Amino acid sequence: MVLGEIVFYISISLIVIVQVCKFFKQSDEDKEYDRKLKESLKDEFIYDPETGTKLTLEQAESGHWIPHNNLNRVKSKEEIEKFYFGREKDAEELINHLKVSGYEYNKLTNSQIKILEHTKIFEKYDDWSYSNSFSFDNGKNFIFFPAVEYKAQNNYQNNFNESQIMFWIKNEKLTGHFYLREKTNFESISDLLRNDDDIKLNDYEIFTYKKSNNILNIIRTLKFFEKEKELEIEIKGENLLVKTLKFPNMEDFLRVEKIIKNVR
């Protein structure tokens, strides 16, 4: 056997060993999931995460039970620790934070959903839905969790479906229609040579669909987002929409909330 063949077989063996180790080695999140799953199987009750109600199997099957319909109910730390893990736990902690901070559970109306359906942010997705919508500023403004979806284009791709965070702010001083997303590497390089955007914002590509009659106010508003990453922003008339690109978490919420307090 020549040296090249020996090296080849050793390389294949090492790859197999690494993959086997990865298969058998559980991540901390997997271990936490297994632990909580075992605990829940020991519980004689069925847990309803929305209302916090615990039901016996007989009650769940019969339907003869009265749920607690307080959607502003704050879940206890023990409840979250027992029934949630990983990023779902992070999201539940954020929902609790919203409730104790004065945000009120409030569903979007059909007319509000129609406005969102015709935004550039949502038009590019194959589908979207939302959950956990809360209003603030006396019902004028909203925060909710949109679940956006890209469908696979072929058998080698997977569908993409993930909840994120969106702030929806009403500001009568805003006019025009602008959509912002982070620049691609190519756009960053080409803008160094020729930046012909109507509004210039570091790291963000700005698409103008309708010019504003108060461009200085638009610039002042968007400048608050100049140093932020991983956001989509849209101004459409009096509507300011800001969406994160990650699963709901406290860090993203707090950094966007801080900006929103300055622009609303």
The pLDDT tens digits of the residues spanning 180-239 come to: 999 998 888 887 777 767 788 888 999 999 999 999 999 999 999 998 999 999 999 999
pLDDT of residue 149: 94
Going by their DSSP bridges, the two strands 141-150 and 204-210 should be labelled as: unpaired
Q: pLDDT-derived band of residue 80, with 50, 70 and 90 as boundaries?
A: very high
CB 181 within 8 A of CB 232: yes
Quick: pLDDT tens for 32-58: 556 555 555 455 556 555 555 555 555
Domain ranges for the chain: 3-42, 46-100, 104-263
Burial 68-81 (b: 16+ CB within 10 A, else e): eeeeeeebeeeebe
- Sequence length of the chain is 264
Average pLDDT over all residues of the chain:
83
Which residue type occupies 226? Answer: E
3-class secondary-structure state, position 182? strand
Structure tokens at 38: 């075992």
Phi-psi sector, 105: left (phi>0), alpha (psi -120 to 50), beta: beta
